[in-house]
Amino acid sequence: MNSPTTFIDALPAINATLNGITTLLLIVGFVLIKQGKPRAHGLTMLTATISSALFLAGYLLHKVFHHDLQIATRFPNLSDSWRYTYWFAILIPHLILAIVMLPFIGAGLWFAYTKQFARHRRVQRFTLPIWLYVSVTGVLIYWLLYHFFPALNARAA
């Protein structure tokens, strides 16, 4: 990948970094609550939420100013197996789960804030794995689009 020339061009790398940070924060937050450190857990999870929110803002900004609201970056010269793997095993589940998890993250934050910890645990029991999947696949999608697929395209040309 060429060096980014504008802030908008740098957003995919920034967004992947935010997704990576979110992944680490989610894991640390999980470990902290298992260690019985609810205050540190809460601060870590709030930071993970902020990191995810910054990612979402950057993602939308990039789509508006760089791709004219296209859902996905287009890439030529891929075999059908790569295309189907990317779309159906990675990107589509990532997008669906990213949308689905938003209200559950909000509910989990609300339940924690209002000290409804039993409800918080029930919601977060399935929100955490989804959030982890979305943040990890966000980094994977960046790597595939901006590092792996361009290399495949260069070899095919």
In the chain, where are the structural domains located? 7-156
Residue 156 has pLDDT above 50, yes or no: no
Tell me the pLDDT band of 100, cut-offs 50, 70 and 90: very high
CA dihedral angle for residue 126, residue 92, residue 11, residue 105, rounded to 10 degrees: -20
Q: Is the pLDDT reported for residue 42 higher than 60?
A: yes
**Res 27 pLDDT > 60:** yes
Distances in Å between the Cα of 85 and the Cα atoms of 80, 89, 90, 94 are 8, 5, 7, 13
Amino acid 74: pLDDT: 57
Spatial distance between the Cα atoms of 138 and 141, rounded to a whole number of angstroms: 5
CA distance 31 to 107: 21
Of the pLDDT bands very low, low, confident and very high (cuts 50, 70, 90), residue 157 is: very low
Tell me the CA distances in angstroms from 22 to 39, 103, 119, 121, one per residue in order.
Answer: 18, 17, 23, 19
The helix/strand/coil state of 144 is: helix
pTM of the model: 0.86
Return the pLDDT at 133.
97
Packing angle of the helix pair 117-143, 38-66 (nearest 10 deg) = 40
Q: What is the pLDDT of residues 56-87, one digit of tens each?
A: 999 999 888 875 555 455 554 567 787 888 88
**Cα 117 from Cα 106, distance rounded (Å):** 14
